[in-house]
Chain A
């Protein structure tokens, strides 16, 4: 196993899949000559040439449509959004074409496309570039939605997404590109879509979190350990299809749950997971499921306000104490 950054793991996954399958190509703004705004496509143009690493104009709807068309006729495009906030410009292509083509063509055309890029709050990217974009996509039948939190997941899940015959929304994070971790060398290592993982075992409460919030929950868990609260952390990894079995299994063990998400809470991932838990594990709950979410406001640019909008370690700890009926130490 090699230790590499999240960015390198994504790059490796792309290279391996492009080598493995000549139908795989990369398309997007600055993916070729500039080697990616966040250097995820570094070296790909040199290695695979301009037919398989395609620079486009600044026109998300256009190049996403090109990708969908290519996928319909048998290629396996990986479309890069410079940031996922730009996918709003391609929303009609993604929602009305990619997600529904298989259904509306009566199964004649499937769309094996991956649309990837960074999303979620980062560092002072302000109101338009800090959004948790997954919420726009996991609501749509026909799309799979992936949020990989570690380098290993980044590689294993991107490869699984490229090999998947359905459109996959694959949202990375600016804040995680430099995170290092162990990544298997095996070119056939994939992590199947729809499998959650228990990141940390605990007895008293299940915290469900992904991406940056997963790391923040991990810090909260370490501190609460000192207070005698044993926190289990489940990372869904794939938001749709959601691995509810792993989440419910954990809640049945701990009897309490807290869901953390960076985006504003209303009708967010936390609402969905809280509902699943209530429906499936009501009799196992000793406390109502709590959500810790971003504030209901556009992301401010100011550093201090950005911090105030995003769930903090302290807010996560408070919610965990509440569901555990524990007094603050």
Chain B
């Protein structure tokens, strides 16, 4: 039986390293091709990694929570009697990614029983050893803290305003320990548990810690009125999340080298709005959003204006004949643009069902790798935030992106009368290397016509 090298897969175009969230198989487990080996956090989503060979998972080289570059060896599948030492030895120890030293477990020779050469690293040590020991009550016995205060005053907390905006609290193993109730209260009040210092055993965050974290700022205004100066740290440095780091890396690669120009148009949305209401009143039919109408209109318009559905390739322009549309989905910590493929061939209801599913799975971080890349055009809709209009940054190698504002009720001149109408602003950002202003304007006109005569979207 062959030895199968398990390498960090490339799960999206922008991915250069991946982090093992957890292994779902352990060393010694028998695996079949297609079994899920591990969950991997990429720059965009959490993805399940399948096994491509059968045998026994002999060795795991990159532990949970550690990163490895794309293509590097992270595990070995083989039969129990196969010699895998050479495979492991042959693999360069994973390059230190993201400034972190390679995982100690990846040292060659760790397969042998005499692996004592590698001293166990304190990776998930007793949190108590790392957490500062809960300070005893600042005052000694009998020094003014009456017994009735004991319960109300978290004893483990120093008297200083620790709950003021602290920098994120470091947790020994990356896992935040919080009581279920504390988690629930934090979710209800929108408190990020990462910045809460736990006062329970082993640093467990308990309800009063969350309450203190929320009530502390509430007390601030009173102090602010009394004193001109504000106490507490002036700022905090938050480490980049994986998504934020990717966006930070990718956007300058778009905005700087790609010469953007923008074309804006206002769309009369009265009829589209009515049509949508009629469609949504139909029994059993999927609910259609304004964005679904825009996706459908763009898909049809892209077929008519392939020059907008195009990518710059240095010495050529690739013109796409299919409309794979990226739909920007906002998340707490960033933005992901999953791809709805072949929109030109999809009905409005199909688009509605599939785009909702895509958005929900994006928020749940359950996208599959192929759903994260391959868009030929993107749509970014900030309509739900009551935005009149905005312009978006192109996501290369796509040639254009459409920014969609809110459908607003505005006064409009109807002859000499002023009436109320529904309007929506569309702004397209175009790569000038691929197209010119007139091309963008013509495309936008077509989109506008589809939306203003929305029955066209149904045929």
Q: A residues near B, CB below 8 A?
A: 204, 226-229, 255, 282-287, 324-327, 329
Q: Does A329 contact B181, Cβ atoms closer than 8 Å? A: no
* Contacting pair A227 B151 (CB below 8 A): yes
A329 to B153, CA, bound (A): 13
A277 CB to closest chain B CB (Å) equals: 11
Query: What A residues does B199 contact at CB under 8 A?
Result: 325
Q: Report yes or no: B182 in contact with A325, Cβ–Cβ below 8 A.
A: no
A325 proximity list for chain B (CB < 8 A): 154, 156, 199-201, 206, 208
Interfacial chain A residues near B179, Cβ < 8 Å:
285-287
Q: How far is the CA of A287 from the CA of B177 in the complex (A)?
A: 11
Would you give the shortest CB distance from B159 to chain A, in whole angstroms? 15
**Which residues of B line the A interface, CB within 8 A?**
136-137, 147-152, 154-156, 179-184, 199-201, 206-208
**Interchain nearest-CB distance for B133 vs A (Å):** 14
Residues of chain B with a CB closer than 8 A to A283's CB: 180-181, 183-184
Please determine whether B151 and A285 come into contact, CB atoms closer than 8 angstroms: no
- B148 lies within 8 A of A228 (CB): yes
Cα distance, A228 to B147, chains bound together (Å): 7
B155 x A327 contact (CB < 8 A): yes
Q: Is B150 within 8 A of A327, CB to CB?
A: yes
A327 to B134, CA, bound (A): 11
Overall SS of chain A's interface: loop
The residues of A that contact B148 with a CB separation of less than 8 Å are 227-228
Cβ A326 vs Cβ B151 within 8 A: yes
B149 contacts A228, C-beta separation under 8 Å? yes
Question: Which residue of B179, B200, B206 has the most chain A CB atoms within 10 A of its CB atom?
Answer: B179
B208: chain A residues at CB < 8 Å are: 325
Q: Which residue of A lies closest to B205 (CB)?
A: A286
Complex alpha-carbon distance, A317 and B415, angstroms: 82
Kindly provide the distance from the CB of A83 to the nearest chain B CB, expressed in whole angstroms: 41
State A329–B141 Cα separation when bound (angstroms).
8
* Residues of B with C-beta under 8 A to A324: 151
Q: Which of A229, A255, A329 contacts B207 (CB 8 A)?
A: A255
Q: Are B151 and A204 in contact (CB under 8 A)?
A: yes
Pairs A-B, 6 closest by C-beta atoms: A286-B181, A327-B155, A228-B148, A329-B147, A286-B179, A228-B151
Contact B147 A227 (CB under 8 A): yes
Least Cβ distance of A61 to chain B in Å? Answer: 48
Least CB distance, B12 to chain A, in whole angstroms: 34
List the A side residues contacting B181 at CB < 8 Å.
Answer: 255, 283-286
Contact A286 B182, beta carbon cutoff 8 Å: yes
Q: How far is the CB of A46 from chain B (nearest CB, A)?
A: 57
Query: Is there an interface contact between A226 and B147, defined as CB atoms closer than 8 Å?
Result: yes
